[in-house]
């Protein structure tokens, strides 16, 4: 506790570096970030990325491009937002846009896709000597007992058994890592949500699954091996364990950021209430507006942190 207090007292002075937890990295002559089409030899990463303070990740490439253009406007940066360039144009695995101190990256769907991206992102931030970086996952989710359109700021990212942990298989053995997120950032986001119109938000646990259909207890996949009653019982248990939404990346996101000393938050809008059904039936324009909500909230946070509002 004493150590913590001393650290907090001096936190204004201590730069929080991005820590990679790999003894082999330091001795590599070159590091090729293959899925970004970037490398330490061909790109000056400190020059390109050294001033990054906020990294926002989300599943869809188009949504993350739109977010970057939105941030360009919000930060009143010079030039036309339409002209922003995909830094990863050499690959179509992920897209990446930099607008001032904000990096916007897509991660695809599911744990394997986001974890590959996070390995390369965390190495990139490390090679670029970034410090005091906050990471956000902006996404969509299925709500558990919430009205569609509610933004859930994740307290704990939990697994299929509602435990705050992420299991990775390493050399044929299960390694378990904690999935705690930054409480301060979450509370700050909740506070800001109340300053914005039309942005219902709650703090709750987020369950991460490895499938959208059976894995989330849906009755409408190509396979279904359980009854309607069994589905509802699972969702009720999830609700009792504090779960308010279900998505597919939060546990590995939380676990990797935590190990590497990165402050992180997960902000996902709910597209439906899973107690009412499985299919996403809202009209396209309604869904588009829902998906803007996490972006508006995180943009508000960034502008506050930068002293712009
Ligand atoms: C939310 O939405 C996607 C599935 O539709 C998945 O990436 C997630 O976490
Ligand atoms: N994303 C998910 O993973 N589940 C949903 O129900 C909606 C979006």
pLDDT score, position 3:
52
Best residue among 113, 138, 140 to mutate for probing ligand 2's pocket (most ligand atoms within 8 Å of CB) is: 140
Residues 6+ apart with CB under 8 A from 174: 167, 168
ipTM above 0.90, yes or no: yes
Determine the pLDDT at residue 60. 97
Token digits for 89?
């144009």
**248 CB less than 6 Å from ligand 2?**
yes
Q: At a CB cut-off of 8 Å and minimum separation 6, what does 151 contact? A: 193, 199, 200, 201, 202, 267, 268, 269, 270, 293, 294, 297
The whole-number pLDDT of residue 12 equals 54
The pair of structure tokens assigned to 91 is 């690959």
pLDDT at 8: 52
Q: What is the C-alpha to C-alpha distance for residues 121 and 261, in angstroms, rounded to an integer? A: 13
Binding-site residues, ligand 1, Cβ < 6 A: 59, 109, 139-141, 212, 247-249
- Directed axis angle between helix 61-74 and helix 284-305, to 10°? 50
- Block means of pLDDT (10 residues each) for the chain, 309 residues, are 50 79 96 98 98 98 98 97 97 98 98 98 98 98 98 98 98 98 98 98 98 98 98 98 98 98 98 98 98 98 97
| Coil, helix or strand at residue 173 | strand
| pTM, two decimal places | 0.95
């Amino acid at each position: 506790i004493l150590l913590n207090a001393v650290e907090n007292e001096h936190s204004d002075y201590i730069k929080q570096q991005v820590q990679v937890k790999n003894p082999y990295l330091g001795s590599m002559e070159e590091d090729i970030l293959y899925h970004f089409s970037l490398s330490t030899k061909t790109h000056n990463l400190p020059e390109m990325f050294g001033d990054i303070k906020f990294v926002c990740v989300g599943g869809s490439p188009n949504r993350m491009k739109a977010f970057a253009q939105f941030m360009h406007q919000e930060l009143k940066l010079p030039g036309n937002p339409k002209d922003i360039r995909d830094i990863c144009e050499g690959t179509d695995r992920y897209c990446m846009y930099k607008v001032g101190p904000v990096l916007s990256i897509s991660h695809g769907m599911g744990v394997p896709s986001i974890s590959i991206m996070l390995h390369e992102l965390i190495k990139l931030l490390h090679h670029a000597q970034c410090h005091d970086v906050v990471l956000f996952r902006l996404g969509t989710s299925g709500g558990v007992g919430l009205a569609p359109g509610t933004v859930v700021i994740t307290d704990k990212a939990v697994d299929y058994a509602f435990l705050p942990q992420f299991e990775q298989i390493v050399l044929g053995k299960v390694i378990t890592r904690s999935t705690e997120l930054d409480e301060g950032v979450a509370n700050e986001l909740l506070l800001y949500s109340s300053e914005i119109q039309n942005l219902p938000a709650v703090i709750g646990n987020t369950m991460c699954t490895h499938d959208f259909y059976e894995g989330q207890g849906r009755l409408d996949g190509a396979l279904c091996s359980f009854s309607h009653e069994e589905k509802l019982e699972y969702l009720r248990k999830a609700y009792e364990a504090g779960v308010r939404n279900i998505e597919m990346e939060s546990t590995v996101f939380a676990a990797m950021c935590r190990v590497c000393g990165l402050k992180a938050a997960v902000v996902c809008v709910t597209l439906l209430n899973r107690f009412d059904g499985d299919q996403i039936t809202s009209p396209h324009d309604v869904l588009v507006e829902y998906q803007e909500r996490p972006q508006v909230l995180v943009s508000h946070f960034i502008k506050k942190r930068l002293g712009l509002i």
